[in-house]
Structures are given as structure tokens and as C-alpha cells.
Amino acid sequence: MIIGKVVGSVVSTRKNENLIGNKFMIVEPAHKTGTGNIVAVDNIGAGIGEFVLVATGSAARIGCNMASSPVDAAIVGIIDDGSELK
């Protein structure tokens, strides 16, 4: 699981049919991993500026109840107190 800050959103008018109706957010990992920012499916309503928990890989598909969708990262929680992350 990755801790990160939501820094933006992605708008895609054409996408896989299993992704229609989903919101995508850009997440900047709190601890630099060398991979840069992550695009994650957001089913819980995270907003720009919030710190979130991101599941990746098969855990992302399971965590957002999209087992048959092409999802590699999903926001699965919003951090209420991340004062040490700022």
C-alpha cells in the first residue's frame, strides 16, 4: 500500500467499458519510489490536496470491487490525520 497526496484529476472520454463512470485521480507518493505520480481509480471521493491510501496490483482490483477491470491502482482510504506527512 502506498501513502500519497492527490494532486490532480484525469478526464478520459474514451476508455475501456469496464472503467466507464469511474473517477481517476493523480496521486503523488509521499515517499519517493522513483516511479513518479500514479493514476488511481477513486471510488471513495478523495479530493485534491488530501492524503490517501493507494492499493496497487491485484489488490487494487479487489479493493475497488473491479476484479475484471484493467485497474492497477485504486484509492482505498482517505487519511484523516497525516500531520507528519505534510
- What does the pLDDT read at residue 84? 64
Structural domains of the chain in order of their starting residue, each with its CATH number: 2-31+44-85 (2.40.50.220)
Can you give the pTM of this predicted structure? 0.84
Band (pLDDT 50/70/90 cuts) for residue 85 is: low
pLDDT, one tens digit per residue, over 37-81 is: 999 999 899 999 999 999 988 788 776 666 777 788 999 999 998
pLDDT digits (tens, 9 = 90+) for 12-36: 888 887 778 889 999 999 887 677 8
pLDDT for position 9: 95
Backbone angles phi, psi at 84, to 5 degrees: -75, -10
CA distances from 13 to 5, 46, 55, 82 (A): 24, 20, 24, 33
In whole angstroms, give the CA distance from residue 36 to residue 40: 13
